[in-house]
Amino acid sequence: MATPTALGSASEPPRSLTGIKPTGMPHLGNYLGMIRPALEMTSSHQAFYFIADYHALTTLRSRDLVQKYTTEVTAAWLALGLDPAQTILFKQSDVPEVCELAWFLSCVTPLGLLKRAHAFKDAESKGAELNGGTFFYPVLMAADILAYDSHVVPVGKDQKQHVEMARDMAIAFNHYFGEVLRVPEPAIRPDVATIPGTDGRKMSKSYDNTIPLFLPTKKLRKAIMGIKTDSTPLEQPKDPNSCSVFELYKLFATAEQTEHLAARYRAGGLGYGHAKQELFEVMEAHFEGPRDRFLHHLAHPKTIDDILADGGQRAKSVAAATLSRVRTAVGM
């Protein structure tokens, strides 16, 4: 039997990989929890960032929506600063090799591991429509991660368990077939682990409490003014650390601005309306440029298609090499 070829050379930068489903316009939780940390890693890592369109099909059944959201999510990455010359940006479905790898992984994955997945258990407990894809989801996600020999996976906290399952699958595969797959690590920023939505719960498309990225100025202001706060009267001191408005503010403001607003909370005399206005101002300044770039990219869909096609080819050649190692290792 031929020996599987070695994993990527030590002289190359480590690889970071992450994906986002095209199931809606990306929101502030996606940006702060995953997109911004992932973009920060692109200067020190060879980054593979993709649009998880296979995964989206567990809930989305519309050809038009899959295409619309794929374009929007790609335009969002570009508007927020992703440089496609440096980072491989692609569509998951342009690399069907991941489906083959998912099969190999599923054969070394105990059923109990899949049954323990939080996302699956949540969907089950909510009585949501369950399909085979929802159950198999973590295996395909593990294949995404392992196909590119990823070292780190920047994700929000809710995805940590899925990355740990990918580790378990890599370890199980290597146990049976030799050191073929790189065992990845999740990269979760503790300061942005879970971003609150407008109702104080985790911001999520499924709770309808999101602040979508690139809202026009007036709508952004309205969304921020709608963030739920407690009923402490204006004149009373307030605890900045138990307020969603402040939690978001400090992720956009400088250290000095943050300290200043915290002092105003504690002193009393600051209404939540004032704090929301401060948040609106830092966010508007932060997203003004990206919003213009987002609209520009949306108006040039051909460029988006070209970028994805080029990224898809580059990603595919990496995944094909991994698959060849895997096939050799299992005796095919």
Binding site for ligand TRP (CB under 6 A): 17-21, 52, 55, 141, 144-145, 153, 155, 159, 162
Residue 207: CB minimum distance to ligand TRP, A: 15
Question: What are the angstrom distances between the C-alpha of 210 and each of 28, 29, 159?
Answer: 7, 8, 18
Report if residue 170 touches ligand ADP, rule: CB under 6 A: no
**Residue with the closest Cβ to ligand TRP?**
19
Q: Establish how many alpha carbons lie within 13 A of residue 82's alpha carbon, considering only the half-sphere containing its beta carbon.
A: 30
Question: What are the angstrom distances between the C-alpha of 7 and each of 49, 207, 331?
Answer: 20, 41, 18
Query: 204 touches which of ligand ADP, ligand TRP, none (CB within 5 to 8 A by kind)?
Result: ligand ADP
- The tokens for 126 are 């909510």
Query: 205 touches which of ligand ADP, ligand TRP, none (CB within 5 to 8 A by kind)?
Result: ligand ADP
Place of tokens 């939505």: 197
Query: 203 touches which of ligand ADP, ligand TRP, none (CB within 5 to 8 A by kind)?
Result: ligand ADP
Query: 33 touches which of ligand TRP, ligand ADP, none (CB within 5 to 8 A by kind)?
Result: ligand ADP
Query: 144 touches which of ligand TRP, ligand ADP, none (CB within 5 to 8 A by kind)?
Result: ligand TRP
- Nearer Cβ to ligand TRP (19/311): 19
Q: Can you say whether the dihedral through the CA atoms of 248, 250, 252, 253 is positive or negative?
A: positive
Q: Mark the segment that binds ligand ADP (CB under 6 A) among 26-34, 120-128, 278-286, 296-304.
A: 26-34
Distance, CA of 151 to CA of 153 (rounded, Å):
7
Residue 325: CB minimum distance to ligand ADP, A: 27
- The tokens for 190 are 């503790």
**Which residues, in sequence order, are bridge partners of residue 20?**
51
Report if residue 248 touches ligand ADP, rule: CB under 6 A: no
State the DSSP H helix or E strand holding residue 136, giving kind and residue range, or none if neither: helix 132-147
Report if residue 84 touches ligand ADP, rule: CB under 6 A: no
- Nearer Cβ to ligand ADP (188/304): 188
Q: Applying CB under 6 A, what is the total number of residues that bind ligand ADP?
A: 17
What is the three-class DSSP state of 250?
coil
**Which residues, in sequence order, are bridge partners of residue 185?**
152
State the DSSP H helix or E strand holding residue 185, giving kind and residue range, or none if neither: strand 185-187
Residue 83: CB minimum distance to ligand TRP, A: 20
Distance, CA of 59 to CA of 72 (rounded, Å):
18
Residue 159: partners with Cβ closer than 8 Å, 6 or more residues away: 153, 186
Distance, CA of 192 to CA of 30 (rounded, Å):
10
Residue 62: CB minimum distance to ligand TRP, A: 18
- Nearer Cβ to ligand TRP (53/278): 53
**Residues at the contact surface with ligand ADP, assessed by CB under 6 A:** 20-21, 29-30, 33-34, 155-156, 158-159, 194-195, 202-206
